[in-house]
């Protein structure tokens, strides 16, 4: 079946009609406000379509921004965590450096004369058993270390060098069973020999008669005899005195002042020129003067707790008077003054 109107208007006629309609609309739009209102109503009616068409783009942009922000935040979080770990590691290292700095300061503040040459050494390994008390340090012949060189820490004498390599050396501790050291009681200038027992916290005083005036708490310092250890360095404090009448000699033990079980840094000592030419036999008075010099360089105004005198004044007074009797100066009081002076001097 054929449609009634089988033919459409020619294309030329439709084009002319479209051009005429456009011209009329442009003329009416410029001369009347009705078309403006109509256009506004049409734009308002189809504005929802614009928002609806823009929804996928907005959603995709939001998702993309969220993904970018999440990735950026994850990267920043990872970087911050790495920085935090690094800072924590730096803080741990800082704490360790503070401890090492404190140890080094204690070493440099040890009771030394200013004219003594010294060098810091670090402990590499330790051998601590009842048969051997030794440590290995990181200084050797290239650094000028020699066999027999005295070694101290911030509190007192540690031992002496027994063997030297190119870059390392072995130090025999004063508590080794094969080691002995000549000492002097600071209170009354009694001289004696202390030997190691194989234990890190005990020295044994050999061949001390019952009649010798030595009591618990006496401070023992190096006497300088033998020329191996410089005189006047603190070594130990008398820990116990047993006077069994069945034995001819008293049984006396002393506790080393050096922290032999926790050695990390040590001081190597080199003798000064006057010590190289000094005679090997030193009087107790010389040792006392040396102790006075070492302590006075540390703290001249250090006060003793009992009589408000400085340690230097106490030693000067003792050196200018006759040996004190029990009525003049009780051993316990003298020992307390010596220990207080040593404790204050090593802080």
* pLDDT exceeds 50 at position 302: no
Rank 70-84, 105-119, 158-172 by mean pLDDT and report only the highest: 158-172
| Model confidence pLDDT, tens digit, residues 174-195 | 999 999 999 999 888 899 999 9
pLDDT reported for residue 237: 94
The label of the residue with tokens 């001249």 reads: 300
Domain boundaries along the sequence of the chain: 180-281
Which of 41-45, 106-110, 253-257 bottoms out in mean pLDDT, i.e. has the lowest?
A: 106-110
| Model confidence pLDDT, tens digit, residues 199-210 | 989 999 988 888
* Residue, of 292 and 250, whose pLDDT is higher: 250
What is the pLDDT averaged over residues 232-238? 91
pTM to 2 decimal places: 0.57
* pLDDT exceeds 50 at position 324: no
| Model confidence pLDDT, tens digit, residues 18-33 | 898 888 877 776 666 6
* pLDDT exceeds 70 at position 307: no
| Model confidence pLDDT, tens digit, residues 72-107 | 888 888 888 888 877 776 776 666 667 777 767 676
Closest-CA residue to 316 (of 288, 287, 282, 284): 288
Of the pLDDT bands very low, low, confident and very high (cuts 50, 70, 90), residue 312 is very low
The CATH code for residues 180-281 is 2.40.10.350
* pLDDT exceeds 90 at position 311: no
């Amino acid at each position: 079946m054929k449609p009634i109107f089988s033919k459409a208007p020619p294309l030329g006629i439709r084009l002319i009609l479209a051009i005429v309609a456009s011209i009329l609309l442009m003329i009416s739009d410029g001369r009347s406000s009705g078309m403006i209102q109509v256009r506004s109503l049409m734009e308002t009616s189809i504005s929802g379509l614009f928002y609806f068409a823009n929804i996928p783009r907005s959603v995709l942009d939001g998702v993309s921004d969220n993904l970018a922000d999440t990735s950026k935040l994850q990267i920043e979080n990872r970087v911050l965590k790495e920085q935090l770990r690094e800072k924590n590691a730096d803080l741990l290292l800082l704490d360790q450096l503070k401890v090492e700095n404190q140890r080094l300061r204690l070493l440099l503040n040890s009771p030394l004369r200013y004219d003594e040459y010294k060098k810091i050494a670090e402990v590499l390994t330790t051998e601590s058993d009842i048969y051997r008390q030794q440590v290995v340090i990181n200084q050797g012949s290239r650094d000028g270390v020699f066999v027999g060189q005295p070694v101290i820490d911030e509190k007192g004498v540690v031992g002496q060098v027994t063997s030297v390599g190119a870059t390392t050396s072995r130090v025999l501790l004063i508590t080794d069973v094969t080691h002995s050291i000549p000492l002097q009681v600071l209170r009354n200038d009694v001289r004696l020999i202390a030997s190691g027992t194989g234990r890190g916290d005990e020295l044994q005083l050999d061949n001390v008669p019952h009649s010798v005036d030595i009591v618990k708490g006496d401070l023992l310092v190096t006497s300088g005899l033998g020329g191996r250890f410089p005189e006047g360095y603190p070594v130990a404090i008398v820990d116990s005195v047993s006077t069994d009448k069945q034995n001819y000699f008293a049984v006396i033990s002393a506790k080393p002042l050096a922290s032999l079980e926790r050695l990390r840094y040590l001081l190597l000592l080199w003798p000064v020129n006057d010590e190289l030419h000094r005679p090997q036999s030193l009087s107790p008075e010389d040792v006392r003067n040396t102790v006075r010099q070492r302590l006075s360089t540390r703290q001249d105004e250090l006060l003793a707790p009992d009589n408000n005198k400085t340690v230097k004044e106490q030693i000067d007074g003792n050196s200018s008077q006759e040996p004190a009797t029990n009525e003049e100066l009780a051993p316990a009081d003298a020992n307390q003054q010596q220990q207080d002076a040593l404790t204050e001097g090593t802080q």
